[in-house]
Amino acid sequence: MIKDITIGQYYPTNSTVHKLDPRVKILGTFMFMASLFIIESFYLYLLVLAFLGSILKLSKIPVRYILKGLRPLMFILLFTLLINAFMTPGKIIYSIGPASISQEGLRQGIFMAVRLIFLITGTSILTLATSPIELTDGIEKLLNPFKKIGVPAHELAMMMTIALRFIPTLLDETDKIMKAQMARGADFESKNILNRAKNLIPLLVPLFISAFRRADELAMAMEARCYRGGENRSKMKQIRFTRKDYIAFATILTYLVLIILF
């Protein structure tokens, strides 16, 4: 289950989406997220599905790989569906003791669950199709105008990228600790929620120790290489907008305008 989480991972392929400027992909992701919160009709999700399917086709990322990343979040999706189905008032279609499912609640629950699926899929494409270095450069370039008001653009970009980069590392560390604890008799697959919660305590302590140790090693490695922030630092690869980037940004903007109009 731990290895199924794809957040923060990079999927290297020679695709059109991978070659786009990281600023276009970052802004496009925010525009896509905004479009999902504007939508109030199931029919518009067909446009979202067509748009997302086109991006997946161009990115050459397997759909199976994307679906694998949704598997660990099934509990959250199911919880969202049920909480809306039971808590939204309306025409009752099914009752379980004092609790009841309304027609409006079921519709709202499915609507919110589908929105979450599209949201997770769309944001996952950003990290899957953008390397950590490109992501850092893109965030820094976008934050550069805010330097005039004292915003540390390079430092913020570096922190966000390191956080994303270390998600797969920490997940791999968690998997190793879980296997070691299971070999010593820990039960992480028990149906009893209280037992599973108790067994998480011996998992969290070594995980936190490992995370702090890795952070300390990274800091020492950066100091050993004379890292002193973003001032006067040169880059091996300069990111520049090309014709493909303008076309991609115009396409995403057109998609957002269509969502707003409909």
Burial of 184 (0-12, 13-18, 19+ CB in 10 A): exposed
User: pLDDT digit of tens for each residue in the chain (262 aa)?
Assistant: 555 566 667 888 888 899 999 999 999 999 999 999 988 888 889 999 999 999 989 998 888 888 877 777 788 888 888 888 888 887 888 777 777 888 888 888 888 888 999 998 888 888 888 887 888 888 888 888 887 887 777 778 878 777 777 777 777 788 788 888 777 776 666 666 666 667 777 778 888 888 888 888 888 888 888 777 666 666 667 788 889 999 999 999 999 999 988 8
Query: Are the CB atoms for 166 and 158 separated by under 8 Å?
Result: no
Count of all residues that appear for the chain in the document:
262
| Distance (Å, whole) CA 32 – CA 123 | 9
How many CB atoms within 10 Å of residue 108?
Answer: 19
| Distance (Å, whole) CA 252 – CA 28 | 6
Q: What is the DSSP string of 99-161?
A: EEEEHHHHHHHHHHHHHHHHHHHHHHHHHHSS-HHHHHHHHHHHHGGGGGGT--HHHHHHHHH
Q: According to the model, what pLDDT value does residue 250 have?
A: 94
Q: According to the model, what pLDDT value does residue 25 have?
A: 93
